[in-house]
Structure 1
Amino acid sequence: MATAGKVEQAKVNRWRWIPHQVRDAFKYRDLLRNLVVRDLKVRYRGSVLGFIWSLLNPLLLMLIFWFVFSKLLKNPTPHFPLFLLTALLAWTWCATTVSGCVGSIVGNGNLINKVYFPRELLPFSTVISNGINFLLSLPTAFALIIYYLVRYPEHYGPRYFPDNLVILNPFNWNLLWIPVLILTQAIFLAGLGLFLAALNVYFRDTSMIVEVGLQAWFFLTPILYDLSAVAQEATQYVYWLNPMASIISSWRIILYNGGNIDPFFILRTILTSLIVFVAGYLFFSRLSRSFGEEL
């Protein structure tokens, strides 16, 4: 009877509520902080420029795309470098996090087999360390905004550009949405990272698939273009099926257009991100109890 009771208790523990798991992870916040610091140190170890690369990567991509699409292909989008940079910063956080999370469990097999700790801390540390890089690179967007405000003050008005495009001064109350966007993107990336990290333990081709998938995902996300150029019905599907499309569109509204964000739009994005997080956490929890055997 006692054995049966232990088995039943084990089954209950396997399906703990996510809030309880989050509290359990919070108890190990010191370890989480150490993992984040380790990720940052390893990334820039031996590098001459160090964390400056977190600024250079999106800037170099922006310059390449600006030259190709604006100079060679004559893209008419005004302030095209800022248009690109607002999307590339958020995308860089996404792409580096997804790539890092895939191998976060497999790459720490020795640590997992030596000591107990909530395994989800490994993907979480990847999300946070890349999020720190994102925050360090965000001032480059504000610097570019200030440049355009000073260099082309006449561009910021309701009737300057054709096609009813309105560009307003981004330094307004909508900047208060930035913490919400950061948290929303972190939740989405954590859920996706948990799913991919667990899947890669049992299916090692996951990392190869993700590498190809990121390239396709890049072009399916409104980074080089605006979703307003896509058919209205298709736009709605993209927003629902691709949370990064909604997140990047929100960043662009705040930092590029300077317009108002529809609260319903933000709530829908938060809901989608929460669904991804819960699904990823449940999948990770289901598979994590056998990580030691597979590693």
Structure 2
Amino acid sequence: MGRALKELWGYRDLLWLLTLRDLKVRYRNSVLGIAWSWMNPLLMMTVFTLVFTVMNRGPASLPHFHAFVLIGILAWNAFAVSVQGAAESVTANAPLVRKVYFPREVLPLAVVLSNAINFLISLPIYFAIAWISGIRPTPWLLLLPITLMAHLMFTAGVSLAVAALNVFYRDTAHILQVLLLAWFFLTPIFYPISVLPRHAVILGLSVDVWLWTRRLNPMASIIASYHDLLYYGIYTAPEFLLRTWVTAALTLALGYALFRRLSPRFAEEV
């Protein structure tokens, strides 16, 4: 593993070039350019705000609901778009994979990094909207890099795994679309994680839905942490932050190990 990481580090310039290529291709011949990365979350923010605070003719369950939704959508999009793009990153570069030697993991990782950059570029939009809405940053904002790193590690781990699987099972990319849609609604993006019941009867068993959502859905903990730091202005409980970090690190290690194990066969499969 250490040798593979050393080799990957040696190709860091290639990784950066592919990341820049992904960003340039995405916004080539676009009038608004990178501003399009803001349009989708802003549109979804508007729709969710209308649905949950206007059309239901009831008061908003959260003050400044639009800001709450926006940070969740930005974080989710960074994850979901990365995973979907990474799934086809190897197969889309088949000629390169067959003819040139380089660590294949740079292909999905370039997709992840380009979306991470998009996410960072989009954060000022959130801060501007939050400030206008009366939400002020607190000193707990200094913990944001910890959540960002957990977010990046988990996204990279899942992306590496699906990129490898899609080379051998081309249905992976299609299955992902369905799974990500279900995952979206199971993640506290447009509702606070605190509304999940602590005791619910499922199949005759008493289940702490709140606790098991945080344990089994890393994106739930990651987005809840963004809500804590950027919306509520409080710190995330250390035990959940630590568990999220451990889960993200394990996901990255397992995803990378799977990718390295299967990558020698990529050239003959693409």
* TM surpasses 0.5: yes
Matched, 1:103 2:88: yes
1:48 corresponds to which residue? 31
Check the 8 A contact 1:191/1:280 in 2, yes or no.
yes
1:170–1:254 contact (8 Å) kept in structure 2 = no
Task: Give the Cα–Cα distance (whole angstroms) in 2 for the partners of residues 146 and 64 of structure 1.
Answer: 21
In the alignment, what sits opposite 2:203? none
Task: Establish whether residue 72 from structure 1 lines up as the match of residue 38 from structure 2.
Answer: no
Alignment-derived partner of residue 145 in structure 2: 179
169-178 vs 21-30, greater mean Cα deviation: 169-178
Match of 1:218 among 167, 184, 187: 184
What are the residue-to-residue correspondences of 1:55-134 with 2, within 5 Å? 55-73=38-56, 74=58, 75-134=60-119
In structure 2, what is the Cα distance between the partners aligned to 1:202 and 1:246? 31
**What secondary structure sits across from 1:289 in the alignment?**
helix
Letter in 2 for 1:265: F
Contact 1:240–1:272, Cα closer than 8 Å, also in 2: no
* Alignment of structure 1 residues 155-234 onto 2, 5 Å: 170-232=136-198, 233-234=208-209
User: Quick check: 1:249 aligned with 2:224?
Assistant: yes
Q: Deviations over 1:21-76 (max 9, x none)?
A: 22211100110111001100110111111100111111111001111111012342
Alignment of 1:266-277 (within 5 A): 266-277=241-252
Deviations 1:198-234 (A, max 9, x none): 0000000011100111110100000121111112211
Cα RMSD after superposing both structures: 1.1
Aligned residue in 1 for 2:201: none
2:21 paired with 1:38: yes
For 2:131, the equivalent position in structure 1 comes to 146
Instruction: Please state whether the residue corresponding to 2:170 is helix, strand or coil.
Output: coil
Asked whether 1:282 is paired with 2:251, we answer no
* Counterpart secondary structure, 1:179: helix
Gaps of 5+ in 1: 1-16, 150-168
- Cα deviation code 1:85-110 (max 9, x no counterpart): 11011011011101101001110111
Q: 1:261 aligns with which of 225, 236, 251?
A: 236
Larger radius of gyration: 1
CA apart distance, 1:184: 1.0
Q: Which amino acid aligns with 1:249?
A: A
- Partner secondary structure for residue 26 of structure 1: helix
Amino acid at match of 2:242: L
Aligned amino acid, residue 84 of structure 1: V
- The count of residues paired between Structure 1 and Structure 2 equals 259
SS of 2:194's equivalent? helix
TM-score (norm 2): 0.93
* Cα distance in 1 between the residues matched to 2:6 and 2:70: 36
- The correspondence of residues 5-16 of structure 1 with structure 2, limited to 5 A, is none
Superposed CA deviations along residues 160-185 of structure 1, whole A, max 9, x for unmatched, are xxxxxxxxx64222111111111111
Q: Which residue of 2 aligns with 1:3?
A: none
SS of equivalent to 2:157: helix
